[in-house]
């Protein structure tokens, strides 16, 4: 954990697996492959971009939610599983500034969950679909022991306006939307068996029913305010490293500036660290984006009042440095969610 820590080393196992697949399977996007046919952007960003017409491009992405990995049967209501699995997938569209349009659902489940459980799952997914203004256009169901949900989303964006991870330049300011760590706090309450307490219920919401920042992402894209953008799905420390890596830059961030979830007094005994939750807790689905200093004032003029906070600055040196209390300086390792790392 020295100052020699480089964002390139931050690539987690998941990124490595996708790279390995892309090296072997004919693909577009990674490894300097040129754009192909209708594909303007392939593997390696939040979503792929396909040319459609002179007025719009399609943005396409897929995302899976698996029982035992992303949710548990005994602790997650089916409504939340349906809601969140769609929201997670759509978050990749928000991350590009795209407008959600259509989705395909591949669902595998045990026969015992094809009754009431499925209806509750569908009602949660329907709620997300209405809120996110997206329509189901295709599906596939199978029988398995554990529930598995795989969703492909299609969104649209004006040609050339999608914001990728690779546009950040030294000197750009780094912003996040909303608060960080709230989803992780909710998960911790569930894992510690506190989910049933009525007084704590509202702290579960960011984990069970994450709210996306679609309007913010679209405004940043259509007005060309952000130079790079992605969603914070796996934790700030991991996702900022990905953005820096894609842009070939580094970053300095200030711990005091990070908008951290407030830990309620009633949970003081749990010994939770708000900074750690904010740095490494995933699933907030807020936006992480960079802005040229001269464009920063445009953020205040965005119509829906969504809080955005400047937490640092992009640097030329390819390392990510965390300033604590404006004095101590440490390299920030990626400690966010990696399905293949045991924690």
Point out which residues bind its own copies (CB under 8 A).
13-14, 17-18, 20-22, 24-29, 36-39, 42-43, 47-48, 50, 52-53, 58, 60-64, 66, 68-70, 101-102, 104-108, 111, 114, 118-119, 122-123, 125-126, 129-130, 134-146, 148, 150, 152, 154, 339-340
Nearer to its own copies, 38 or 270 (CB): 38
Q: Residue 291 Cβ, how far from its own copies at the closest point, in Å?
A: 27
Nearer to its own copies, 96 or 263 (CB): 96
Q: Sign of torsion, CA 91 87 336 185? A: positive
Whole-number Å distance between alpha carbons of 88 and 90: 6
Q: Reading across the β-sheet that carries 287-291, which strands appear in turn?
A: 226-231, 287-291, 173-177, 308-315, 250-254, 320-324, 328-331
CA dist 160 and 152 (Å) reads: 22
In the complex, what is the shortest distance from the CB of residue 315 to its own copies, in angstroms, rounded to a whole number? 30
Nearest C-alpha neighbor of 85 from the set 190, 188, 233: 233
Q: C-alpha 224: how far from its chain's center? A: 20
Q: Which is nearer to its own copies, 47 or 90 (CB)?
A: 47
Instruction: Give the residue with the Cβ less far from its own copies, 30 or 276.
Output: 30
Output the smallest distance, CB 141 to its own copies, in A: 5
Residue ranges with strand state E in 46-147: 48-51, 57-66, 99-109, 135-143
The smaller minimum CB distance to its own copies, of residues 47 and 229, is found at: 47
Minimum gap (Å) between residue 115 Cβ and its own copies: 10
CB of 12 to its own copies, least distance (A): 10
């Amino acid at each position: 954990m020295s100052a020699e820590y480089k964002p390139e080393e931050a690539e987690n196992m998941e990124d490595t697996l996708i790279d390995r697949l892309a090296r072997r399977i004919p693909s577009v996007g990674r490894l300097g492959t040129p754009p192909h046919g209708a594909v303007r952007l392939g593997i390696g960003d939040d979503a792929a971009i396909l040319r459609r017409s002179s007025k719009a491009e399609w943005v396409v992405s897929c995302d899976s939610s698996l029982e035992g990995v992303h949710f548990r049967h005994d602790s997650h209501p089916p409504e939340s599983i349906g809601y969140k699995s769609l929201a997670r997938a759509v978050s990749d569209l928000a991350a590009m500034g795209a407008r959600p349009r259509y989705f395909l659902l591949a669902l595998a489940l045990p026969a015992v969950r094809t009754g009431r459980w499925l209806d509750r799952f569908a009602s949660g997914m329907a709620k997300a679909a209405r809120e996110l203004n997206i329509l189901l256009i295709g599906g596939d169901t199978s029988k398995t022991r554990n529930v598995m949900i795989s969703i492909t989303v299609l969104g649209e964006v004006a040609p050339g306006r999608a914001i990728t991870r690779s546009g950040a330049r030294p000197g750009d300011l780094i912003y996040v939307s909303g608060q960080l760590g709230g989803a992780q706090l909710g998960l911790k309450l569930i894992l510690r068996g506190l989910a049933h307490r009525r007084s704590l219920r509202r702290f579960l919401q960011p984990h069970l029913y994450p709210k996306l920042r679609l309007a913010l992402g679209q405004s940043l894209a259509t007005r060309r305010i952000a130079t790079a953008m992605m969603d914070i799905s796996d934790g700030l420390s991991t996702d900022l490293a990905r953005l820096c890596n894609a842009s070939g830059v580094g970053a300095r961030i200030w711990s005091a500036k990070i908008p951290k979830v407030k830990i309620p007094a009633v949970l003081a005994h749990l010994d939770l660290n708000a900074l750690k939750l904010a740095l490494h807790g995933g699933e907030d689905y807020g936006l992480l984006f960079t802005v040229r200093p001269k464009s920063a004032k445009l953020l205040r003029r965005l119509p829906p009042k969504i809080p955005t906070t400047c937490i640092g600055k992009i640097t030329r040196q390819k390392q990510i440095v965390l300033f604590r209390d404006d004095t101590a300086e440490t390299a920030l390792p990626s400690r966010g969610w990696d399905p293949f790392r045991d924690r």
